[in-house]
Amino acid sequence: MKIIRNWPRNFWRWIRQVSGDAAYENYLRSTRRIADVAHVDSRTTQAGCCSTHATSSQPLTRSEFYLDALRRRYSTVSRCC
């Protein structure tokens, strides 16, 4: 019953993810997660040198992120025959 009740909301979320509409929210979540992991790593290793994650001080704006994502996507094979 719960699955049926939540179906429209889950479907909408899925559509937003698949279409790329939620890409910026994903990016912000990702940068927060990276910052958290970097913080934990720096505390456990004390030197803070062993994280493989990229860290950036200031996240991109929505507009900057959109352009950056397009540049990345269309510089490699992204569509098949």
- Under the rule (CB under 8 A), what is the footprint of another protein? 14-21, 23-24, 26-28, 30-31, 33-34, 37, 52-54, 59, 62-63, 65-81
Alpha helices in 1-81 (DSSP H): 2-19, 23-45, 62-73
Torsion sign (Cα): 57, 59, 61, 63: positive
29 Cβ contact partners less than 8 Å away, ≥ 6 residues apart: none
